[in-house]
Amino acid sequence: MEKQIVCLAGDGIGPEVMAAGKRVLHMIERLYQHKFHLQDELFGGAAIDAYGNPLPARTLAACLASDAVLLAAVGGPRWDTAPERPEKGLLALRKALGVYANVRPVTVDEATLHLSPLKEECAKNVDFVVVRELTGGIYFSYPKHRTNEQATDTLTYSRREVERIVEYAFRLAATRRKKVTSIDKANVLESSKLWREVTEEVALRYQGIALEHLLVDAAAMEMIKNPGRFDVIVTENLFGDILSDEASVLSGSLGMLPSASHAEQGPSLYEPIHGSAPDLEADRANPIAMMRSVAMMLQQSFGLSAEANAIEQAIQNVLKTGKATSDLGGKETTSSFTNYVLQELEAQVLVGRGRA
């Protein structure tokens, strides 16, 4: 198979985790005889420094013409007070690609179960997916303004926007444990009242799939108290952003969780859920979220399930030996942990073919 992948390394730990993701892709190319054309483009703070724009026209054109986009992370204190912010480029990219469905699977690895802040019997049942609406809501606020004395953001959702993301969640639940939890704030927000109404209508078209509604504050509590109750969570942009970072703690670290973002048509975007982690020293980032984002890309954009499963298995096998980066209490660096995963991947595939 031959595919064009645009790589947006971005800022902070972005280039380090992107390097790990590319090494995994090169290993998969070699082991399975694929050709991945990896095209690097400037994005985020790095693009502001070069062009004064976090999403240069050249970067956007390359993304739109690609088979898939792999993104690491953007942002950092250097640009916090700059006229242009890296995060603005991320929102503009998601909007331009039309990637409304952000899928964030949350599982807890057997080998890192003891690192979860939850009791083991609670954490071991964690297996859910957050389906986050990604191109609407308050992050795309209009009108939005600010004076010295007052600031305004606007939260808007249309029926169509709610319907398509909730439909996505129901279709996904049909392939899993057949339960959707819709999270809103319908006791206060008008947008949430519409969200709940539309969700009820969609549910009528999916007999056999259970629907429950939770208010976002109670949902935040339930995610810690009884996370095993969730199968597919569907929620709006801001709530999904916050709840998925909370969910990552169940797995032991924000550095573990990947995501895929899909449009109605055109290339999908794959990225770890974490940010640029400016507080980390060089070569300390956990590359697992990026490796899993690569696996999601291989599976969901290219249909390469065996390759995706091999990556996941290699990560699991390395974690089982006790090797881990410092966020999980281990001693490995980004590069040494990646070396182990690559060795494991190669050994596993060759053993499978009886050649080791």
Ligand X SMILES: CC(C)CC(=O)C(=O)O
Q: How far apart are CA 264 and CA 207, in angstroms?
A: 24
- Catalytic-role residue among 100, 139, 157, 206: 139
Confirm if 291 and 24 have CB atoms less than 8 A apart: yes
Q: Is 153 a catalytic residue?
A: no
75 near ligand NAI, rule: CB under 6 A: yes
**Which residue in the set 28, 59, 66, 87 belongs to the binding site for ligand NAI (CB under 6 A)?**
87
Q: How far is CA 217 from CA 113, 228, 242, 248, in A?
A: 26, 18, 11, 17
* Residue 127 is assigned to a ligand binding site: no
Closest of 261, 228, 245, 285 to residue 15, by C-alpha:
285
* Residue 132 is assigned to a ligand binding site: yes
* Residue 245 is assigned to a ligand binding site: yes
Q: Residue 281 class from Cβ within 10 Å (0-12 exposed, 13-18 middle, 19+ buried)?
A: exposed
Spatial CB neighbours of 193, under 8 Å, sequence gap ≥ 6: 186
Q: Which stretch binds ligand NAI (CB under 6 A): 32-40, 72-80, 127-135, 219-227?
A: 72-80
275 token code pair: 């940010």
280 near ligand NAI, rule: CB under 6 A: yes
Q: Cβ closer to ligand NAI: 169 or 285?
A: 285
4 token code pair: 């064009």
- Interface map 221-260 toward ligand NAI (x if CB under 6 A): --------------------------------xxx-----
**Which residue in the set 327, 340, 341, 349 belongs to the binding site for ligand NAI (CB under 6 A)?**
327
Report the nearest approach of ligand NAI to the CB of residue 16 (Å).
9
277 near ligand NAI, rule: CB under 6 A: yes
State the binding partner of 297 from Mg ion, ligand X, ligand NAI, none, CB within 5 to 8 A by kind: none
315 near ligand NAI, rule: CB under 6 A: no
**Which residue in the set 47, 214, 260, 273 belongs to the binding site for ligand X (CB under 6 A)?**
273
133 near ligand X, rule: CB under 6 A: no
- Catalytic-role residue among 80, 144, 217, 225: 217
* Residue 279 is assigned to a ligand binding site: no
Report the nearest approach of ligand X to the CB of residue 143 (Å).
19
**Which residue in the set 236, 241, 327, 344 belongs to the binding site for Mg ion (CB under 5 A)?**
241
Confirm if 232 and 173 have CB atoms less than 8 A apart: yes
Q: Which residue is nearest to Mg ion (CB)?
A: 241
279 near ligand NAI, rule: CB under 6 A: yes
- Interface map 151-190 toward ligand X (x if CB under 6 A): ----------------------------------------
Q: How far is CA 299 from CA 70, 131, 195, 295, 316, in A?
A: 14, 17, 30, 6, 18
Residues carrying an active site annotation: 139, 185, 217, 241, 245
Binding site for Mg ion (CB under 5 A): 241
